[in-house]
Every structure is written in structure tokens, then in C-alpha cells.
Amino acid sequence: MSQKYVIGNYKLNPASQQDALTLAQNLTPSACVVGIAPSILHLSAIKSVLADGIALGVQDITHKSADVGAFTGDVSATQVKDMGANFTLVGHSERRQYHGETDEILSQKIAHAFHAGLSVVFCIGETKDDYDQKRTQQVLSAQLELLTPFAKQIPLDTDQTLPKLIIAYEPVWAIGTGLTPTLAEIECVHNFISETLSTLQIFAPILYGGSVNDQNATSFAQSPLIDGALVGGASLKTDRFAAIITAFS
Ligand code: PGA
């Protein structure tokens, strides 16, 4: 079986550092690669309690600079790498939607992350309207297009815990809604993503995200086309997240 990945995206949760530490302290290394992207505020405290082998990431980095500069309120790839982060999310639909992140911005973020030595979990996905209009493949291929200039920077093999690039397919309509595509639909989309990536000469694991929970994880984990999961809500519940990790291990 190929390597599987389970990554928790804490989003703007929890309200206290102590609760974030409790979640992180309960994580143990597993046969699948486990990672979490907590609030950037909690990064350093979590780093000090996280078990070896668990990847630590951030949910965002600035597109303005790879390292330093006069960008009030921003946090750079170099700074988070220095604080011990291994990866950053890029392109999450909540960033695209609420912060107007365009392809140009996302591509700058990817360049900065690679420059600083961070892996990138690149999130893509269609809206409900796109899904209803059967435009999913069209939307995803446009979203993947911005990876073209990075192809040569993404090694085929890596001895790192995390590959340099991971794709997370997250239908926007499945995030936080309790709805998911059928397994067959996800497999069809993952197959399409994999074919699109290979035409770009890029090889990356493809995770599914959007309402993954302890109930549906087992069937997703059994699919050879699903390399893991990006988990939001369920990553904030120790027992549910553990069950998802077990399913992919
Ligand atoms: P969800 O979020 O698991 O709560 O649907 C997934 C995500 O946004 O990454």
C-alpha cells in the first residue's frame, strides 16, 4: 500500500492555547503520516509538545515576501519555517473566498514556501454551482494550471516525512456541511487530477477533504486513489481524529 497522509486543519480553533495543546499532545505517530495546521498563534507552544514524526504546518503565509519586509500583520514562509513548521496550506477555499486570493497570489505563496523549504498542501475544489453544472474537471484543471512553473522544483522521490507538494481535493460544498461526493465521484476526480498532474510532469499524493469523519474515513481509506485526508471539524475531536488516522494506517 502506498503512503497515506492525514492532516488536520484547525482553522480558527480552538479559543485557548491550552485546548490546542491538549489536542496536539494526544497525537501519536502512526503508520500513516500525520500532520496538523493549528492557528499560527499556537504554533510554537504546540511544537514543544508534539511527538516526533508528526508534521506541523500553518494555514497561511503571506504572498508579499518570502522572508521579511514592511507588510504589517503578515507572516512569512521563512518565519514559520524558523518556528519549526514543515508545511503550509495554500489555496484553501476559505482563503480564496474570504480573502480574495487569486491564482497570482497563490502562485507567489507556493514560490515563497518552496524557497523557505516548506512543503505545500495545495487545496483545490469546485463550488456547488460548478458541481451542479458538471464543470468540476474544468475548474480543477484551471486551478492546477498554476503549478506548471513549479514542476521542475518538485522531486519525484523524497526522503522527507512530507513530499514537497500534496494536493487536497476539497469540494467547496462539502466543507463543514456534512455532505460528501460519493466514493465513486471522488475516485473519478482523483483520477482526473492525477492525469492532469502527470501531463504537467508533477507527481504528488492526492488527499480528499470535506466532511471527512470517523464514519466515512474507512471507505475513503480503502481506495487506492485516495492518498489521505485533509480534516477540518473532526480534527478538533481527539477520538474522531484518532479514528480517521487509524482508518488510513
Ligand atoms: P471539514 O473541513 O472537515 O470541517 O469539512 C475540511 C477543510 O476545510 O479542510
Write out the DSSP string of 109-171. Answer: HHHHHHHHT-EEEEEE---HHHHHTT-HHHHHHHHHHTTGGGGGGS-S---SSS-SEEEEE--
Element (H, E) at 57: strand 55-58
| Interval between CA 145 and ligand 1 midpoint (Å) | 23
Cell of 137: 474537471
Q: Is the CB of 6 under 6 A from ligand 1?
A: no
Nearest CA owner, ligand 1 atom 9? 232
Q: Is the CB of 181 under 6 A from ligand 1?
A: no
Instruction: Looking at the CA of residue 93, tell me the nearest atom of ligand 1.
Output: 8
Instruction: Looking at the CA of residue 177, tell me the nearest atom of ligand 1.
Output: 5
DSSP lists the bridge partners of residue 165 as 120
Per the CB < 8 A criterion, the answer to whether 148 and 200 are in contact is yes
- How many distinct helices (H) and strands (E) make up the chain? 10, 8
Nearest CA owner, ligand 1 atom 6? 232
pLDDT in tens, the chain (249 residues): 589 999 999 999 999 999 999 999 999 999 999 999 999 999 999 999 999 999 999 999 999 999 999 999 999 999 999 999 999 999 999 999 999 999 999 999 999 999 999 999 999 999 999 999 999 999 999 999 999 999 988 876 665 679 999 999 999 999 999 999 999 999 999 999 999 999 999 999 999 999 999 999 999 999 999 999 999 999 999 999 999 999 999
